[in-house]
Amino acid sequence: MDMTQVLPDSWQAWLGDEFEQPYMQALREFLAREKAARKVVYPHSSDWFRAFELTPLDQVKIVMLGQDPYHGPGQAHGLCFSVRPEVRTPPSLVNIYKELAQDVGFQPVNHGHLESWARQGVLLLNTSLTVEHGNAGSHRGQGWETFTDKAIATVSAKAPPSVFLLWGSHARAKKSLVDTSRHLILESPHPSPLSAYRGFFGNHHFSRANAFLKEHGREPVNWQLPDTP
The residues that are catalytic are 68
What residues contact residue 127 under an 8 Å CB cut-off, 6+ apart? Answer: 65, 66, 67, 144, 145, 148, 149, 170, 171, 174
What dihedral angle (degrees, nearest 10) is formed by the CA atoms of 67, 71, 74, 75?
-30
What gap in Å lies between CA 41 and CA 65, rounded to an integer? Answer: 20
Sort 106 into a burial class: Cβ within 10 Å, 0-12 / 13-18 / 19+: middle
Helix (H) or strand (E) holding 144: helix 144-158
